[in-house]
Amino acid sequence: MKKHKIIICLALLIFSSAAYGQVSGLEMNADVENPAGIDQVVKIPQIPRTLNFANEPVPLKYMDVKESLQREMMVITYWHASLAYILQLNNRYEAAIRKVIMEESLPADFYYLCIAESGLQPVVSPAGACGYWQFLETTAKEYGLVVDDEVDERYNIEKSTRAAAAYFKKAYAEFGTWTMAAASFNIGLSNVRNRMELQSQKNYYDTHFPEETSRYLFRALAFKTIMSNPQAYGFLIDKEQLYPPFEYKEVKVDGPVESWPEFAARHKTNFKLLKIYNQWIRSHSMVNKARRTFIVKIPTGR
């Protein structure tokens, strides 16, 4: 019995080695397009010859810059389900976010920074950053957003985008470039300030940052490149599969709301839909001690 086991093990080892040799040979052969028997063909996505962020050129002639962009494009391109979902959400939210960006005189490319932050989803980071622009609570309040047990405007797309625009414009006024302003949103104004001084640098692409920040802007650039022509990167999504923009009417609320579910019912909808359209509502009721005014979106379609 022992002999048989040894023979089987040797046979398996020989077969595995042969298979490994075949695969290794394929990996080393760059000319192989789609070898027989291989179900998946992985290719490095092409990067554009020229690129800019907020009209500031990306120096792709530099090895480190080119490789950083290619890395993010490869990650996002093969992030199949997630990117397909982002493309669906893009059809719903792009116009609303871009409208605020334009009204705030912010460069249009900052839209892709929002995607890099949250994937157009109301996510929460391990550090407690929340919403579409991933504001920490202290920063959100500093830029005028309401954050408490009843309301969290980090989940209000329009208001959080205005707050982000205010931040970026302040950072640009200090650092002089939109790329540095973008980097500071990830790592903080003081951190960028200190690194610029310590390294005697003013250019984002020449400044050493921790890995997360060094990848941050390139992630936005990768989203910009791929989402500008998703078909070229293999994402073929029919128009009817894209999520439609929300249809709603607006109601002004400047007092308490004893019950949001009852409020929803009075407006011929339900609490579930009310929350989907107004993710900044964080409780079943609102005392609203400060008597702030909120614009509530009432669904008119489903």
Q: At what angle do helices 110-118 and 178-187 cross, to 10 degrees?
A: 20
pLDDT of residue 5 exceeding 60: no
| 221 plus 295 within the same structural domain | no
Burial class (CB in 10 A: 0-12, 13-18, 19+), 114: buried
With respect to residue 195, please indicate whether it lies within any of the assigned structural domains. Answer: yes
Give the residue from 224, 241, 258 where a domain finishes. Answer: 241
Structure-token pair, residue 72: 């993010």
Which alpha helices (DSSP H) does 104-148 contain, by range?
110-118, 137-142
Query: What per-residue confidence (pLDDT) applies to 35?
Result: 59
Burial class (CB in 10 A: 0-12, 13-18, 19+), 296: buried
What are the backbone dihedrals phi and psi of residue 135, each rounded to the nearest 5 degrees, phi first? -80, 140
| 218 plus 111 within the same structural domain | yes
| 217 plus 152 within the same structural domain | yes
| 264 plus 294 within the same structural domain | yes
With respect to residue 81, please indicate whether it lies within any of the assigned structural domains. Answer: yes
Give the residue from 241, 269, 285 where a domain finishes. Answer: 241
| 144 plus 287 within the same structural domain | no
- As a whole number of angstroms, the distance between CA 118 and CA 133 comes to 7
**Domain that residue 15 falls in:** 1-41
Q: Are strands 56-57 and 52-53 parallel, antiparallel or unpaired?
A: antiparallel
Tens of pLDDT along 199-233?
Answer: 999 999 999 999 999 999 999 999 999 999 999 99
| 202 plus 252 within the same structural domain | no
With respect to residue 145, please indicate whether it lies within any of the assigned structural domains. Answer: yes
- As a whole number of angstroms, the distance between CA 157 and CA 5 comes to 64
With respect to residue 151, please indicate whether it lies within any of the assigned structural domains. Answer: yes
With respect to residue 176, please indicate whether it lies within any of the assigned structural domains. Answer: yes
| 178 plus 152 within the same structural domain | yes
Contacts of 20 (CB under 8 A, 6+ apart): none
Tens of pLDDT along 254-278?
Answer: 999 999 999 999 999 999 999 999 9
36: confidence class by pLDDT, cuts 50, 70, 90:
low
- As a whole number of angstroms, the distance between CA 199 and CA 190 comes to 14
| 275 plus 134 within the same structural domain | no
The answer to whether 70 touches 106, Cβ cutoff 8 Å, is no
The answer to whether 121 touches 89, Cβ cutoff 8 Å, is yes
- Stretch (H or E) spanning 93: helix 80-103
| 90 plus 157 within the same structural domain | yes
| 206 plus 284 within the same structural domain | no
| 230 plus 125 within the same structural domain | yes
Task: Give the CATH number, domain containing residue 135.
Answer: 1.10.530.10
With respect to residue 47, please indicate whether it lies within any of the assigned structural domains. Answer: no
What are the backbone dihedrals phi and psi of residue 33, each rounded to the nearest 5 degrees, phi first? -85, -55
- Mean pLDDT of all residues in the chain? 90
Q: How many domains does the chain have?
A: 3
Burial class (CB in 10 A: 0-12, 13-18, 19+), 55: exposed
Q: Is 291 helix (H, G, I), strand (E, B) or coil?
A: coil
CB atoms within 10 A of CB 213: 21
pLDDT of residue 25 exceeding 60: no
| 261 plus 201 within the same structural domain | no
With respect to residue 46, please indicate whether it lies within any of the assigned structural domains. Answer: no
For the entire predicted model, the pTM comes to 0.86
pLDDT of residue 30 exceeding 70: no
Query: What per-residue confidence (pLDDT) applies to 37?
Result: 66
- Scanning the structure block, which residue is given the tokens 């050493």? 208
With respect to residue 1, please indicate whether it lies within any of the assigned structural domains. Answer: yes
Q: Give which of 207, 185, 206, 205 is closest to 194, Cα–Cα.
A: 207
